[in-house]
Chain A
């Protein structure tokens, strides 16, 4: 029964999807509205599960999964990795992995609905594409290293810890802004 009724609907939506992909990107929502919505999502996470949000933790476990598949002995002899994947422990057996996967899907769906799915490289006006790629990789490496040292990234520490008033998370948040502002002047040609 369900398939019979949904067939004509599919026929109607297909051109709509095509039109959606051709359309110019919609503007972003107002930052305060985005913030309010993000706040409600963050609250819902704490309210329902007791956990906040996270991203780098999930990425960490994906990397450990690869390491555990390639060099299991190495994982079993490194205490930091052992916690996540030692012996028969499954590194994917953690809430943060699923939040991280959800982030990718949610970002994709929103980009798709709003006409922002586009292969492009966002960069400062005077930066060659290749240099932007190298800088993105280098910046990412710093970010990944720092996020693990700080036990969380902007999501897991600043947002989540900030909302529940953790002292360490607030100190961390100011350190991130301080680090970025301190260096911003010296790399201004990358962005302006």
Chain B
């Protein structure tokens, strides 16, 4: 299993985990300061092509972090599924960005750098930070007037490789090359506009660093990002044991009880084909045919932390395969309905039900009852009364801490 990111709260407690964030913030503020980002003159010079420090620091940082993230992801150390990728709200992002650009050139900072500037006692930094507080306050008070726009053009977790239809490694290499070309052009501009000719500002080691970044990006390209099959192989030993011990197969009685548990966000995932689903399914079961399960994992990861997903097919075969895909794709708290839909009907069918719908002998993972009409969940046993049954079973469902950030960005 990919060991990172860590579930910090498990080691340090809820508030204790924030110490790590404090240290990360410390390092962030420290690096911003030594790069000159506490000085508004240095920041603003970016926009007159005299001193492109902002561009150089930002793009070097983005490229470095990007390469390390996808390198560790390729090596199976970091789970990219579990890191926060800012969801795309295209137009609010662009309009907000333009407004920020205006603020940048008038005020000379961005929010983070103004904090560093204020911390080093620069009065303009303090005024800027106060202005930022005021702007944020104003936004909170006025966002209600244009909420439709604020939530418009939502595209979810949408990445450049998906947009361009290219493998991640190719995009990583292209961005690295693009950044180096931008640096080359930027240095040229600094020379002709800013008159910077000091050789000390153009050390030889930057060629070695550029070469190193290109080489690492090429390694990312060659290694490729893990597929669902790769991810399953990394955890197969540990997880197939759970299957063999029947630790994740939930008895129909336990599922019925959980259907009435208001503290859980129970997701019933029916992975059978459309015909079987239409003939009969549990109340509120979501229909996700087996071939769409992998794509659906992203939606399940976005569900709240108290979510339990129970996968079902006619017996257990297809559901088990779907379980493997979901577990490999980093969905937490996934279980399989023991005996599948056939087992469910066996458990809860009343005599009247059995007199109308006859059992038939079916092949593996086929519906074992001859439904005559596609009534879906309009049967009582689609959500039976839990008090009408006295079932004995070993409870299996345990709500485990969901890995990865539940929310992120500048939330």
Interface size class of B (residues with CB under 8 A): 35 or more
| A140 touching B38 in the complex, CB below 8 Å, given contacts A35-B58, A64-B140, A187-B106 | no
Contact in complex: B118, A138 (CB < 8 Å): no
Partner of B405, one of A50, A138, A145: A50
25 interchain pairs (CB within 8 A)?
Answer: A28-B36, A32-B183, A39-B63, A40-B65, A42-B28, A43-B69, A45-B24, A46-B69, A49-B21, A97-B18, A102-B25, A103-B28, A107-B29, A111-B33, A136-B127, A139-B102, A140-B132, A141-B132, A141-B134, A142-B100, A145-B135, A146-B102, A167-B163, A181-B47, A181-B101
| A103 touching B106 in the complex, CB below 8 Å, given contacts A31-B60, A157-B93, A176-B97 | no
Residues of A within 8 A of B96 (CB): 146-151, 172, 175
Q: A67 to B138: give the CA distance in the assembly, Å.
A: 12
Q: A120 to B125: give the CA distance in the assembly, Å.
A: 10
Q: A141 to B141: give the CA distance in the assembly, Å.
A: 14
| A122 touching B127 in the complex, CB below 8 Å, given contacts A36-B64, A140-B103, A163-B65 | no
Q: A141 to B128: give the CA distance in the assembly, Å.
A: 8
- Residue A72 CB within 8 A of the other chain: no
Residues of A within 8 A of B29 (CB): 102-110
Partner of B159, one of A81, A119, A132, A165: A165
- Residue B234 CB within 8 A of the other chain: no
| A136 touching B109 in the complex, CB below 8 Å, given contacts A30-B203, A147-B410 | yes
Q: A149 to B143: give the CA distance in the assembly, Å.
A: 8
- Residue B364 CB within 8 A of the other chain: no
Contact in complex: A163, B26 (CB < 8 Å): no
Residues of A within 8 A of B45 (CB): 191
- Residue A63 CB within 8 A of the other chain: yes
Residues of B within 8 A of A64 (CB): 140
Contact in complex: B143, A94 (CB < 8 Å): no
Contact in complex: A139, B104 (CB < 8 Å): yes
B116 CB to closest chain A CB, in angstroms?
A: 3
Interface positions, chain A 54-78, Cβ under 8 Å from B, are: 54-57, 59-60, 62-64, 67, 78
Residues of A within 8 A of B114 (CB): 140, 143
Q: A106 to B24: give the CA distance in the assembly, Å.
A: 9
Contact in complex: A143, B121 (CB < 8 Å): no
Contact in complex: B121, A102 (CB < 8 Å): no
Interface positions, chain A 145-192, Cβ under 8 Å from B, are: 145-184, 187-188, 190-192
A133 CB to closest chain B CB, in angstroms?
A: 5
Q: A172 to B93: give the CA distance in the assembly, Å.
A: 5
Residues of A within 8 A of B77 (CB): 47
Contact in complex: A104, B101 (CB < 8 Å): no
Interface majority SS (helix, strand, loop, mixed), chain A: helix
| A192 touching B48 in the complex, CB below 8 Å, given contacts A49-B21, A103-B32 | yes
Contact in complex: B110, A138 (CB < 8 Å): no
| A106 touching B27 in the complex, CB below 8 Å, given contacts A39-B61, A56-B410, A158-B58 | yes
Contact in complex: B128, A140 (CB < 8 Å): yes
Partner of A41, one of B6, B28, B97: B28
Contact in complex: B61, A160 (CB < 8 Å): no
Closest A residue to B95 by beta carbon equals A149
Contact in complex: B24, A41 (CB < 8 Å): yes
Partner of A80, one of B53, B103, B134, B143: B143
Contact in complex: A167, B106 (CB < 8 Å): no
- Residue A117 CB within 8 A of the other chain: yes
Q: What 0/1 readout, one digit per residue, does chain A (81-120) give for beta carbons within 8 Å of chain B?
A: 1000000000000111111111111111111001011111
Q: A161 to B140: give the CA distance in the assembly, Å.
A: 23
| A30 touching B201 in the complex, CB below 8 Å, given contacts A49-B24, A148-B143, A179-B99 | yes
| A32 touching B56 in the complex, CB below 8 Å, given contacts A49-B21, A79-B144 | yes
Contact in complex: A57, B68 (CB < 8 Å): no
Q: A167 to B93: give the CA distance in the assembly, Å.
A: 10
Contact in complex: A164, B124 (CB < 8 Å): no
Contact in complex: B69, A32 (CB < 8 Å): no
Contact in complex: B119, A107 (CB < 8 Å): yes
5 additional A-B pairs beyond A32-B56, A50-B404, A80-B143, beta carbons within 8 Å, are A40-B65, A55-B115, A140-B128, A147-B135, A166-B158
Contact in complex: B111, A143 (CB < 8 Å): yes
Contact in complex: A29, B34 (CB < 8 Å): yes
Q: A122 to B39: give the CA distance in the assembly, Å.
A: 7
- Residue B160 CB within 8 A of the other chain: yes
Q: A114 to B52: give the CA distance in the assembly, Å.
A: 22
Q: A96 to B28: give the CA distance in the assembly, Å.
A: 12
Contact in complex: B69, A144 (CB < 8 Å): no
